[in-house]
Structure 1
């Protein structure tokens, strides 16, 4: 494998990952790409639900959509996308997504330099193939993605996450909150009870409800429930348990609106999820509850983030649903989370 000649690279395509949390975790690597190629035009290819994470990112010049449910759908979709990319004459593709498909698209797009991990039988499609050492599977995901660049003798640029909320979005956030009787003087605590990957990652909604009521009584803060369209029923259930002493935003905000609302929170309490990494990128004080997943590789990377987990022999199992008794979550009591929340509220 030859080293990349940074002076000859003028147009770069970065293939984004497909999950919100993973997308945020790649932002230190994206900044490093800009550091190594300061004069290059950097475009990012992302699925529509992930793309908003990169809006206003100062290290990206252009965002391209991979619309797999629309114009890039079906058997003709990938060739069509590859043809579109070929017209842009990229010099280098950096593949943060590990799938075979990502390498195939870059290959068919005629991009002469294609950099990524040697996974999913795609070594023949990559010109700069980075061997995935076993130890890399145990490091934090930030370092995992930086490892792609370091494997090609490119320099990293720290581990700080990037997620930019604009003043206009902050103003819109205050308008949303005002509709629910929440003013700029009110403290706001966010609760994120869902997790798209599966139920094994979720602390129990009844406990979230009890926690929310307790923190409201302690601090006088307003409680906001966060979640996506698939978590509407969960938000409604917790709101009912709290006797509607909260604002339920589940399925009612865009990803950008959710991010701006999370930035407004004085405390965010969440499962291991995409919004957990949103809070970390914004350095919102947060408590992340871990059970089935590996905190060593996916914990929130921010100074004001704190995780709660209790080791059990079967964790991390990385399974979407617990096949036994969900002990990794059952052992985490409301009091444990409440006491940690009070300390963070006092500190911040």
Structure 2
């Protein structure tokens, strides 16, 4: 795998044609990958400007220069390191990276034509999205405005980390970094884990940083029958995710990273819209219950958590069982 990159500290200047601002959310970062690959394939010397927390993720993309900065670095300081080094920039949202492009006075600053972002751009890109399109279209449409071809299946492929997967290894992630309304009841996770163990699977339970620690609680309930893993920092978990043949997870950042690493995913959706935000790839499944109040996208439910409460163990288990025979078989292309 080709890896190119530089950290801004210590200072090392690199230059190129297009410097792209990485979205700060993990799901959005994953949805940006096909568009970034398309820019690279167009022949432009392409870089990504991201926080240090995302560096390992972006280093998995061949031909991409990774320019990273420590978290919470001031945009003005970032700007001093990219000034006069890049011909153009592409930003998707208001962020420290987008602000750094403006402060650095990069000659051509592109991005979606949105009221808050417009003030940072020299060349706003005007395009529309159809209702219920997958979020990946937001990023592809911007690149298509630059007359760049995005319709190549390899742009959507999961990465090859060179790691052999274990077909019988299943990871469970009951925690979500999107909020408690995205999380299924822990007693139901216990039932899923027990069924996996009864079927001879090796179960790893993962917890995330900065939430209710459902993962640790689930691991404690299951005891020595499972392996416990704390996924922090998230970008460093890619090799661990790639080992597992199947990941069953609450909707959040982790299933998107697992899909990027080439792992088959079953994702439990609640307040989010699976048509809009499902992990990229044909081999994955989403499980959800249709309720009148969804998608609300709320981190904390204002009613009775019915989207999670009405999602039964049997419904989730059916989706898991359907994928167990397919787990770890990495389809060549990951078309959305």
TM value normalised by structure 1: 0.82
The corresponding residue for 1:177 is none
Q: Which of 58, 61, 66 matches 1:63?
A: 66
> How do 1:280-319 and structure 2 match up within 5 A?
280-319=259-298
Report the Cα distance in structure 1 between the residues aligned to 2:257 and 2:156, rounded to whole angstroms: 9
| Count of matched residue pairs | 312
The corresponding residue for 2:22 is 16
Q: How far is 1:41 from its partner?
A: 2.5
Report the Cα distance in structure 1 between the residues aligned to 2:30 and 2:236, rounded to whole angstroms: 16
The corresponding residue for 2:313 is 334
The corresponding residue for 1:78 is 75
Against the structure 1 CA distance between its residues 106 and 256, is the aligned structure 2 distance closer, same or farther, given a 3 Å change threshold?
A: closer
Deviations along 1:170-194, whole A, 9 cap, x unmatched? 38xx9xxxxxxxxx6x721111111
- Is the 1:20–1:53 Cα contact (8 Å) retained in structure 2? no
2:108 pairs with 1:128: no
Which sections of structure 2, spanning at least 5 residues, go unmatched? Answer: 1-14, 328-336
The corresponding residue for 1:224 is 204
Q: Which of 103, 111, 118 matches 2:113?
A: 118
Q: Which has the higher strand share?
A: 2
> How do 1:1-348 and structure 2 match up within 5 A?
10-36=16-42, 38=43, 40-60=44-64, 62-69=65-72, 72=73, 77-87=74-84, 89-96=85-92, 98-99=93-94, 101-131=96-126, 133=128, 135-136=129-130, 138-158=132-152, 160-161=155-156, 164-167=159-162, 170=163, 187-217=168-198, 219-231=199-211, 233-251=213-231, 254-348=233-327
Report the Cα distance in structure 1 between the residues aligned to 2:320 and 2:36, rounded to whole angstroms: 33
Q: Which has the higher helix share?
A: 1
Deviations along 1:100-156, whole A, 9 cap, x unmatched? 6544321221211111012242324312212353x4564211111111112233321
Against the structure 1 CA distance between its residues 343 and 68, is the aligned structure 2 distance closer, same or farther, given a 3 Å change threshold?
A: closer
Against the structure 1 CA distance between its residues 233 and 299, is the aligned structure 2 distance closer, same or farther, given a 3 Å change threshold?
A: closer
Q: How far is 1:67 from its partner?
A: 2.1
Pick the structure with greater CA Rg: 1
Which sections of structure 1, spanning at least 5 residues, go unmatched? Answer: 1-8, 175-183
Q: CA RMSD in A?
A: 2.4
